[in-house]
Amino acid sequence: MLLPARWPGVRMDAVNDLSEVRDMLAERVMEWTEEWKQRGLQQGLQQGLDSERHLMVRQVRRRFGDMVAAHSAPLLAQITEPTVLEDLGEALLDCADDAAWLARLDAASS
């Protein structure tokens, strides 16, 4: 009776005695721990991608100017694969001019 009030939104099975509560909680704690780990991994990955995008926009701004950086930012925001961002980071160094960079970025974000 007390547990559902402490954890709203969490499904609690009906129990007949306290030993069932202990077993149920042990199982739930394992499930919750796994969910928390997965959420933490997802948040870490997202933060890493956001940091890499931010750095790349700064590098584009330094190399090609504010207008190209402003055009690049929303395209970079569409990219969710770390390896694609890594490839674009290398391409930024290899592109001869802003037109080549934007063409490469357009192709990667499509």
According to DSSP H, which parts of the chain are helical? 2-6, 18-64, 66-77, 82-94, 98-109
Per-residue pLDDT of the chain (110 residues; tens, 9 = 90+): 445 556 666 665 666 666 777 777 778 878 888 888 888 888 888 898 999 999 999 999 999 999 999 999 999 999 999 999 999 999 999 999 999 999 999 999 98
What's the pLDDT score for residue 10?
62
Helix 82-94 and helix 18-64, axial crossing angle in degrees, nearest 10: 10
Q: Which two tokens stand for residue 37?
A: 């780990």
Which tokens sit at 91? Answer: 């391409």
Q: Kindly state the tokens that stand for 19.
A: 């030993």
The amino acid present at 46, given as its one-letter code, is Q
Q: Where are the domains of the chain?
A: 19-109
pLDDT for 40 equals 85
> Distance between CA atoms of 50 and 85, rounded to whole angstroms?
11
- C-alpha closest to that of 102 among 61, 71, 80, 57: 71
